[in-house]
């Protein structure tokens, strides 16, 4: 979102106009920003064969997935539902990586039938997969490197207490399972967490994967996950992907020079691609002054954007109704019957009831983590592409909320009983 000519614009379209036409709350995504981020990654890693698999758990809207695919990116999924959505969006099975965790084995069977790349992160599942499929279906293996990484312990996934991955110290056991069942291992995977600023973390992970790769001569790829940090505050520093690209290119080239089957480098960017592309537009419903604070209440809450409450995440806020007004200090809160505070003591141009506020960096883990808590409805979504704002998900209705519920009279048992 940019301020131009005294008005905020998203992808060249005036933000206030989008709010007027779509109503609030509404998520708005800028296709140009997604394309810019994808182009930056490709340029940074042009020195070695690299594939980028969009981590769609960040944002699974079909229109966004189709746009991401048009940019030449694959898809990283973590549930069989995400796999099916990816296929519906036009992805081919070979363009999809399935990386579940603690799921029923039936999801692995479905994935094998669909023909997507399967990533296994536990020895019991590896054994069961081997007993059912042997070497007929290739697999990737997710390794836990025991590296603490990321800006928050709740988004670090590679440490010793993490539920994700097979411990790097269990590789001898993995070798036995692979040999016993004749498994065809074509990839190794490692993801240490999100918001990783230090490129040295990626280099350490890469070295560990390269050591493991010696055990699997037929590997096609090494997947380093992602975790690239994006700036949330003006003074924030982002991951230097250009530096990382140069360093990894040299290391992978040296590795491939000594190997009969060269490996491709894979990454799974999610937040890096869509975070800065997304804005959540809301309306101020009340300005309330107490003995200690001036609150601005909005027609949204943790049911639409939970990250500030769940992770303590910072999101920039702009008053798009009066961008150049006199600034005052507000605590911005939601309408949920919980403490759903978006921001404490934030300087904003003076807010009046009805003003439209914009939460920035809301493209990743915004709508995808939204809920119907307090029986509130989820918002609409708009994609701005080629200078046009298009509604890509309508706002929910009360009928949507009730659609899956059955009216049952427990006194007369008029509804169909659950079979014994």
Query: In terms of DSSP bridges, do strands 264-267 and 327-333 run parallel, antiparallel, or are they unpaired?
Result: unpaired
Query: How sure is the predictor about 194, in pLDDT bands with cuts at 50, 70 and 90?
Result: low
Report how far residue 316's alpha carbon sits from residue 279's, in angstroms, rounded to the nearest whole number. 10
Instruction: Please determine, for residue 154, whether its predicted confidence score (pLDDT) is greater than 50.
Output: no
β-pair partners for 257: none
Whether the CB-CB separation of 385 and 34 falls below 8 Å is answered with no
Half-sphere exposure of 56 (CA within 13 A, CB side): 34
Residue by residue, DSSP assigns 273-284 as: HHTTTEEEEEEE
With a pLDDT cut of 90, the percent of the chain lying above it is: 80
Structure-model confidence comparison of residues 148 and 255, the more confident one: 255
Preceding omega of 25 cis (within 30 degrees of 0): yes
Whether the CB-CB separation of 233 and 316 falls below 8 Å is answered with yes
Query: Minimal CA–CA distance to 241: which of 255, 233, 232, 231?
Result: 231
Choose the weakest-confidence range: 53-62, 159-168, 396-405. Answer: 159-168
Report how far residue 388's alpha carbon sits from residue 408's, in angstroms, rounded to the nearest whole number. 46
pLDDT at 415: 62
β-pair partners for 380: 26
Phi, psi of 147 (to 5 degrees): -115, 120
**Residue carrying the six token digits 């079979």:** 419
Query: How sure is the predictor about 279, in pLDDT bands with cuts at 50, 70 and 90?
Result: very high
> Phi-psi region for residue 147, left (φ > 0), alpha (ψ -120 to 50) or beta?
beta
Catalytic residue (one of 56, 140, 212, 337): 337
Query: Minimal CA–CA distance to 82: which of 318, 348, 368?
Result: 368
Whether the CB-CB separation of 189 and 141 falls below 8 Å is answered with yes
Burial class (CB in 10 A: 0-12, 13-18, 19+), 53: buried
Burial class (CB in 10 A: 0-12, 13-18, 19+), 418: exposed
**Model confidence pLDDT, tens digit, residues 9-67:** 999 999 999 999 999 999 999 999 999 999 999 999 998 899 999 999 999 999 999 99
Choose the weakest-confidence range: 41-45, 94-98, 239-243, 318-322. Answer: 239-243
Is residue 337 flagged as an active site residue? Answer: yes
Report how far residue 180's alpha carbon sits from residue 110's, in angstroms, rounded to the nearest whole number. 24
Q: Which residue segments constitute the domains of the chain, with CATH numbers given?
A: 2-25+278-362+379-397 (2.40.37.10), 31-274 (3.20.20.10)
Whether the CB-CB separation of 267 and 353 falls below 8 Å is answered with no
Query: Minimal CA–CA distance to 84: which of 106, 110, 51?
Result: 110
Q: How many CB atoms lie within 10 A of CB 77?
A: 29
Burial class (CB in 10 A: 0-12, 13-18, 19+), 402: exposed
**Model confidence pLDDT, tens digit, residues 79-96:** 999 999 999 999 999 999
Whether the CB-CB separation of 406 and 418 falls below 8 Å is answered with no
Using DSSP's 3-state secondary structure scheme, residue 147 falls into: coil
**Cα angle 194, 196, 200; round to 5:** 140
pLDDT at 417: 65
Query: Minimal CA–CA distance to 333: which of 364, 371, 367, 290?
Result: 290
- For the beta sheet containing 2-4, the strands, ordered from the edge strand earlier in sequence to the opposite edge, are 2-4, 7-10, 13-14
For 332-348, b/e burial (b = at least 16 CB within 10 A) is bbbbbeeebebbeebeb
pLDDT at 403: 95
**Residue carrying the six token digits 């779509």:** 22
Task: Report the predicted TM-score, pTM, of the whole model to 2 decimal places.
Answer: 0.92
């Amino acid at each position: 979102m940019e301020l131009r000519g005294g008005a905020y614009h998203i992808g060249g379209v005036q933000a206030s106009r989008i709010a007027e036409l779509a109503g609030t709350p509404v998520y708005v995504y800028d296709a140009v920003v997604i394309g810019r981020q994808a182009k930056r990654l490709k340029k940074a890693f042009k020195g070695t064969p690299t594939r980028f698999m969009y981590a769609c758990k960040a944002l699974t809207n079909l229109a966004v997935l189709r746009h991401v695919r048009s940019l030449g990116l694959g898809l990283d999924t973590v549930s069989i539902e995400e796999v099916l959505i990816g296929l519906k969006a036009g992805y081919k099975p070979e363009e999809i990586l399935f990386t579940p965790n603690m799921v029923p084995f039936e999801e692995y069977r479905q994935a094998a039938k669909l023909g997507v790349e399967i990533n296994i992160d536990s020895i019991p599942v590896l054994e069961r997969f081997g007993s059912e499929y042997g070497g007929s279906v290739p697999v990737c293996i997710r390794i836990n490197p025991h590296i603490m990484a990321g800006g928050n312990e709740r988004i670090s996934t590679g440490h010793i207490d993490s539920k994700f991955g097979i411990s790097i110290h269990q590789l001898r056991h993995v070798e036995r399972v692979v040999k016993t069942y004749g498994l065809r291992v074509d990839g190794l995977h490692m993801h240490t967490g999100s918001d990783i600023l230090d490129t040295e973390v990626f280099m350490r992970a890469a070295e560990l994967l390269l050591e493991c790769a010696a055990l699997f001569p037929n590997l096609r790829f090494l997947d380093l996950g992602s975790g690239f940090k994006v700036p949330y505050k003006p003074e924030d520093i982002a991951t230097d992907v250009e530096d990382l690209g140069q360093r990894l290119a040299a290391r992978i080239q040296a590795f491939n020079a000594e190997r009969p089957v060269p490996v491709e480098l894979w990454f799974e960017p999610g937040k890096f691609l869509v975070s800065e592309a997304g804005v959540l537009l809301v309306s101020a419903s009340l300005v309330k002054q107490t003995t200690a604070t001036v609150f601005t209440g909005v027609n949204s809450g943790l049911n639409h954007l939970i990250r500030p409450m769940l992770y303590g995440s910072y999101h920039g806020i702009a008053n798009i109704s009066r961008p150049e007004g006199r600034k005052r200090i507000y605590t911005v809160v939601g309408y949920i019957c919980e403490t759903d505070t978006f921001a404490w003591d934030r300087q904003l141009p003076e807010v009046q009831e009805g003003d439209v506020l914009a939460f920035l960096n809301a493209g990743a883990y915004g709508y995808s983590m939204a809920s119907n808590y307090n029986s509130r409805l989820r918002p609409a979504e708009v994609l701005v592409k080629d200078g046009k704002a298009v509604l890509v998900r309508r706002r929910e209705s009360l009928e949507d909320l009730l659609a899956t519920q059955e009216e049952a009279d427990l006194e007369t048992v008029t509804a169909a009983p659950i079979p014994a």
